[in-house]
Amino acid sequence: MRFAVHVLAVVVGLISWLVAMPVIAVTKYTAIPLGTLGGTYSDGYAINASGQVAGSVGTGAGGPPSHAFLWSDGVMKDLGTLGGTESQGFGINDVGQVTGYSLTTGNAATHAFLYAVGVMQDLGTLGGRDSTGHGINNGGQVTGGSATPPGPSGGAVHSFVYSNGTMIELATPTGLGSAAQSINASGQVTGSALVTGQQAQAFVYSGGNWTLLGTLGGRYSGGTSINAGGQVTGYSDTVLASTAIVHAFLYSGSTMRDLGTLGGTHSYGRGINASADVVGESDIASGPTRAFLWSGGTMYDLNTLVVSGLTVGPLVRANGINDRGQIIATGCIPFGGGVCMAYRLDPITDTAIPALSRVGLAAMALLLLASGLLLRRRRKQ
């Protein structure tokens, strides 16, 4: 009898503990439209830790030209150009510095820029005509690609890191071209590098060392974003064929993981945070592409997770995610003539749905067992 009472007491305590446990949270999002500057579209490309966004925005009702913008606290700021008619912002760091590219005076060339404290600075090139800034870290280091002087390689594009007033070429071991896309706080860089004239691979460059990340079975891959831990997302073809199927990947440690799709044949990873959550775009079975969030082993259509604020949609791509889980994404009207809107997706937590776990089932089974033991003992008495 005492044994059964003890069992029952333990089970009751376990049930009480389960009831008091927080329920499993389901993450949803509120969409905040970033607006435009008089045109028909805006496109956000990068988001920093405080939720500031850099991107490209139309400045006239007729569409292009576009200008780089910085969105902060509900206000979109036109960053101007380097003298030409167009610019785009591709990267932003936690102090609000922006990089991208701009046409120069007379639209003679495109040059990488660094925007800081109200000034757009021309970063120049590696000797060729054009350059583009893609990523920037909190130390103000910019990475991207630049044309080199004409020569045996035909003035190929090579990766660079711009730091303390100097653009430094990141020459590949093969001497062939490369294009850097993202740089983390440690100065690790990812992008895509040619390994032969017909094949390219995602890479991580760190302290003078190049690591090729391989592919998902095909001939090429490219890294688009790298987090503080050196994990990379990007894209890779999956089969050796002329009509290759391209999938988003997560590279962690020494393994490239195929993230799959939302039901179609193609996906593309564009942003990654410290938790290895990945955002990007994916085909679906039919219709336009959809923005996705890959988290905890599952790829979600972001359109199914947004509960309010989406006015121009569907969300067709997501370009960045910060460590707070805020996402920068773009919604477009299908066949709408370039009518698109950049959104910041802010996570909200719905704790109204409890989950019946296997622990809970086991506890109920123990409760039934204990009750049976008690009843049996009483009958024997």
Given a cut of 60, is residue 68 above it in pLDDT?
yes
pLDDT at 331: 97
Query: How far is Cα 64 from Cα 162, in angstroms, rounded to an integer?
Result: 29
Model pLDDT for residues 225-270, shown as the tens digit of each residue:
999 999 999 999 998 665 569 999 999 999 999 999 999 999 999 9
What is the mean pLDDT of the segment spanning 85-104? 98
pLDDT at 62: 57
Q: How confident is the model at residue 335 (pLDDT cuts 50, 70, 90)?
A: confident
Q: How confident is the model at residue 154 (pLDDT cuts 50, 70, 90)?
A: low
Query: How far is Cα 34 from Cα 36, in angstroms, rounded to an integer?
Result: 7
Whether the bond between 65 and the residue before it is cis, its omega within 30 degrees of 0, is yes
pLDDT at 288: 81
pLDDT at 286: 84
Q: How confident is the model at residue 353 (pLDDT cuts 50, 70, 90)?
A: very low
Inter-axis angle of helices 358-380 and 2-20, to 10 degrees? Answer: 160
**Higher-scoring residue by pLDDT: 120, 357:** 120
pLDDT at 84: 96
Quick check: helix, strand or coil at residue 132?
strand
pTM for the full predicted model: 0.85
The pLDDT mean for the chain works out to 87
Residue of 165, 65, 176 whose CA lies nearest to 114: 165
Q: How confident is the model at residue 91 (pLDDT cuts 50, 70, 90)?
A: very high
Query: How far is Cα 101 from Cα 218, in angstroms, rounded to an integer?
Result: 31
pLDDT at 334: 85
What is the mean pLDDT of the segment spanning 284-295? 92
DSSP state of 196: S
Quick check: helix, strand or coil at residue 351?
coil
pLDDT at 174: 86
pLDDT at 337: 75
Pairing assessment for the beta strands 75-78 and 83-92 based on DSSP bridges:
unpaired
Identify the weakest region by mean pLDDT among 69-83, 331-345, 347-361: 347-361
Residue of 127, 78, 128, 84 whose CA lies nearest to 104: 84
Given a cut of 80, is residue 3 above it in pLDDT?
no
Q: How confident is the model at residue 23 (pLDDT cuts 50, 70, 90)?
A: very low
**Higher-scoring residue by pLDDT: 354, 254:** 254
Whether the CB-CB separation of 261 and 299 falls below 8 Å is answered with: yes
Query: How far is Cα 330 from Cα 345, in angstroms, rounded to an integer?
Result: 10
Q: What's the token pair of residue 56?
A: 């490209």
Q: How confident is the model at residue 371 (pLDDT cuts 50, 70, 90)?
A: low
Quick check: helix, strand or coil at residue 363?
helix
What is the mean pLDDT of the segment spanning 29-33? 98
pLDDT at 63: 57
Strand order in the sheet with 42-47: 42-47, 53-60, 63-72, 75-78
Given a cut of 80, is residue 352 above it in pLDDT?
no
